[in-house]
Amino acid sequence: MKYYDKLIFELSREGRSGYSLPENKFGHCLKELPKALRRPAAPELPKVSEIDVVRHYTNLSQMNFGVDTGFYPLGSCTMKYNPKINEEIAALPGFNGLHPLQPEATVAGAKAVYEGMDKALAAITGMAGFTFMPCAGAHGELTGLMIIREYHRRRGDTARTKIIVPDSAHGTNPASAAVCGLEVVEVKSNANGLVDVEALKPLLGPEVAGIMMTNPNTLGLFEKDIKEIAALVHECGGLLYYDGANMNPLLGVVRPGDMGFDVMHLNLHKTFSTPHGGGGPGSGPVGVAKHLVDILPDVKVSGFNGNFGVILRAYAYILMLGRENVKLAGKYATLSANYIKESLKDCYKLPIPSVCKHEFVYDGLIDDGASKAPDGHGATTLDVAKRLLDFGFHAPTIYFPLLFHQALMIEPTETESKETLDDFIEVMRKIAAEAAENPMILRDAPHCTPIRRPDETTAARNPILKYQDSICE
């Protein structure tokens, strides 16, 4: 990879141009614009030729890594391939020319997409109805928790101010609950990495608004006691919230509605193949069980009904797969994760050996090579992740979940062929062998990327959030 960090403005030269603007047909209107709204000077656009622009953006794109470039095993994020047909559908002029304020009678096609999605997601999740307004997962969590709070309020039960969250939860769960004004109560995991039902029981009572769960959880394990947990929480008067971030392995196999969940969100940008990370934007539709449908936000409030382009892409994905193939996505994702997990457990510590779903967690290297390092420090999970970049793989999720100090979380998704998985396994074995032999190779990695290790500490302590000339000097 070649290093390239120019700004398009740095390429600008007076008099250069790559485009002729059409004749300004509205020049005569200028006088009618109030003076305050007129620009005193022309905007400072970069003056560049076409080849300047093409090379600039091509070079920048090569500094990037995406699922179109290579394997992206980022646990908890479901970085599956984004099929190009999604883009073709979303680019159809009838869709991409829509304006959120145009009269309802003229958007029948878009309404049909929402209705179709509502039906498809209800069938996949076992929920009764969805709102498409939330624009990402955490936004969906907040919406869902507000629905739970409103449910209790309508029953005149205002004592329910606590929400139970497992210690393995995504960080967004307690954060969303806090934003919603609920008090977070943590429930511990047992030795098998699942919610400890016995530890849950004493937490339940008349102050509990509900419990937020991810199933499979962040260790990639299916919460097999979910029926019992649902019965206990319902018995105490609380509701169950399902964090849909890990829905992928369950597609077409198990439904949150059947497990006993009352409210849930889906991440269309994870499970339903829409662009994710950097590019986004996301979409986090919230589904509810029958008894909560009348609390869903009313679409009629606003014509701006979530990120329509994302919902449309996800709908294209579901229709392209069809009912039978949707089931295969989850099964292949589960098979791929178990295949990697079993293939590498002789070089990486596997704290929970049971069958996983779509992802799993190692707890660092078995032999970190500490005895071979001059300072006695072996290679950490961070070093393994950095070394992977040298071999053209995106790094997995590291140091999450917090249950394991050297957590390294891998989620291959159903996207990858067996050959890609085998390549990845071979590289991970090679890295483990390097660590045992000479951990400094890992600790100094990456060796082949345009930037080695950025100074994350200084960046966090003294962030520079906008372009400054001094950076380039």
Partner 1 sequence: MSKVIEGLRYSESHEWVKVEGGLAVVGVSDFAQKEMGNITYVDLPDVDDEVTAGEDFGALESVKAASDLIAPVSGRVVEVNEALEDEPELVNQDAYANWIIKVEMSDPSELDALLDAEAYKKISD
Query: In whole angstroms, what is the distance from residue 227 CA to residue 207 CA?
Result: 21
Taking CB under 8 A as the rule, which mask of x and - marks residues 356-395 in contact with partner 1? ----------------------------------------
Binding residue for partner 1, selected from 460, 467, 469, 473, defined by CB under 8 A: 460
Contact range with partner 1 by CB under 8 A, out of 64-72, 234-242, 412-420, 456-464: 456-464
Least separation in angstroms between residue 404's CB and partner 1 is 12
**Part of the chain binding partner 1 (CB under 8 A), chosen from 9-17, 101-109, 245-253, 453-461:** 453-461
**Interface positions, 118-177, toward partner 1 (CB under 8 A):** 171
- Return the residue of 14, 23, 298, 456 that touches partner 1, per CB under 8 A: 456
Among 24, 158, 417, 457, binds partner 1 (CB under 8 A): 457
String of contacts with partner 1 for each residue 404-433, x by CB under 8 A: -x----------------------------
- Nearer to partner 1 (CB atom), residue 101 or residue 460: 460
Binding mask 55-94 for partner 1 (x = CB under 8 A): ----------------------------------------
Cβ closer to partner 1: 171 or 181?
171
Minimum CB distance to partner 1, residue 399 (Å): 5
- State which residue, 18 or 171, has the beta carbon closest to partner 1: 171
Residue numbers at the binding site for partner 1 (CB under 8 A): 171, 399-400, 402, 405, 456-457, 460-461
